[in-house]
A and B are shown apart, each in its own frame.
Chain A
């Protein structure tokens, strides 16, 4: 960490020539009097820790994410949804020819409920997100 203020051993990527010229120019300017006793090394450590912490792969409910999509949504590192979806579709295909002696099936039971209660529930649910 001692080398952080030394330009020759600067740990960050090399600057472009243009930026380097600006940097040299700025470094020749007289130093401003230091008003606060700021520990630059500690500050650099803090920033480095923050940056490295923020790029850690998030993990929730056993799902490991490999980063974020352009719209900011986490991207599942092992997403098999499309393959599973294809498999699910293949499961509902009727392969062999089938015939039956019925058209519709099942017994029927009618129940009656309080219409107001049902409608209030529908009102409430239609305002909710899925």
Chain B
């Protein structure tokens, strides 16, 4: 995901004063000038780590970092390169690890070697023991220290997938253990529910509007997470492992174009509203986007029908996540939904105002609720 993707539009600010909650000075260098409400949200995604805090005036401050490493052996040449550049790195024994976006830049510049990704399919990559240690080192630098003792922290975790035998329990335990060691009162929160907390879907019933009721979808790189919620409660949540990375890989396979170039095309030029056959990469991307959306709707229909889930009235679907960023995503979703046998009446499909930060902001909102509950 490029910086273009990260620089998304901002939401609407309203001047209303909210309920006052205690505020505290943040000790991290970049946070010194702002006063934050206690409660931090962390989105540990396959592609990016995003940490959200809310200031006293209601602004969400999101700190993001790409989950990537590029290993470099210690040599005169490497030391010289690092001295002359501003690449960020961690030195472990006889190796340097270039971190974040710099890892991607360097591997493209050198043209050999591979970028290491400590996360895979939404959870810690079990094959990379050393890089998980590095990931924790990096997360610590992004999250910073608690601003009050035992500050509530919510970290997003994916639901177990319906299309693969994968249990997230251990991933959740490792992250909980890590954040607890950092001094936080850490708890997991379902990734799609974070989107619901951030976007606040509304159901329209005969008795009036029902808050935090509907379907929330988080379209990440490794997974798509879906949750059906009723008044803020998670009724049914699941994930699908075919998401953004799958779309890139498939488009790369059928066109013979490198995945990194496919990603670049996707982030710069993809418009799902137009079907341009003259550009093979864009055409392939559109086809696989449509397939992925149909797959999401198929699994939602199957899951919700099998559990006999019932919600009165018409519901709203809210969508967020990096994979939902291309222009026309929600319109394509609506079209696919109309062609399906979806078990609920839907009055609106809405895109998050800050799709890339919805999960971290939703986690932060949940953590603030924890803090309020603790101090009631």
A88 touches B372 (CB 8 A): no
Contact of A116 with B by CB under 8 A: yes
A interface size (C-beta, 8 A):
43
Q: Min CB distance, A62 to chain B, in Å?
A: 10
User: Given B6, B7, B134, B369, which contacts A125 in the complex, CB threshold below 8 Å?
Assistant: B369
In angstroms, Cα B372 to Cα A116, docked, is 16
B91 touches A99 (CB 8 A): yes
User: Which parts of A104-122 form the interface with B (CB within 8 Å)?
Assistant: 104-122
A109 touches B372 (CB 8 A): no
Contact of B16 with A by CB under 8 A: yes
A105 touches B88 (CB 8 A): yes
In angstroms, Cα B197 to Cα A46, docked, is 51
- Which chain B residue shows the least CB distance to A92? B178
A111 touches B361 (CB 8 A): yes
User: Given A118, A124, A125, which contacts B58 in the complex, CB threshold below 8 Å?
Assistant: A118
User: Which parts of A82-111 form the interface with B (CB within 8 Å)?
Assistant: 84-85, 87-89, 91-111
B interface size (C-beta, 8 A):
76
- Which chain A residue shows the least CB distance to B139? A105
User: Given B10, B29, B137, B232, which contacts A112 in the complex, CB threshold below 8 Å?
Assistant: B10
Q: Min CB distance, A46 to chain B, in Å?
A: 32
A105 touches B12 (CB 8 A): no
A110 touches B137 (CB 8 A): no
A105 touches B138 (CB 8 A): yes
Query: Given A99-B91, A115-B58, is A121 in contact with B63 using a C-beta cutoff of 8 Å?
Result: no
Q: Min CB distance, B86 to chain A, in Å?
A: 9
Q: Tell me if A's interface is mostly helix, strand, loop or mixed.
A: mixed
In angstroms, Cα B265 to Cα A45, docked, is 73
B200 touches A121 (CB 8 A): yes
B58 partner residues in chain A, CB cutoff 8 A: 112-113, 115, 118
In angstroms, Cα B8 to Cα A130, docked, is 32
Contact of A1 with B by CB under 8 A: no
A111 touches B170 (CB 8 A): no
A92 touches B170 (CB 8 A): no
17 A–B contact pairs at CB < 8 A? A84-B170, A88-B173, A88-B177, A92-B136, A101-B82, A105-B100, A106-B63, A106-B65, A108-B63, A109-B61, A109-B357, A112-B59, A113-B198, A118-B58, A122-B372, A125-B232, A126-B369
Q: A84-B170, A107-B64 are in contact. List 20 more A-B contacts (CB 8 A).
A: A88-B170, A92-B178, A93-B133, A101-B82, A103-B141, A104-B28, A105-B99, A108-B30, A109-B357, A110-B10, A110-B60, A111-B10, A112-B13, A113-B11, A113-B60, A114-B12, A121-B232, A122-B365, A124-B211, A125-B366
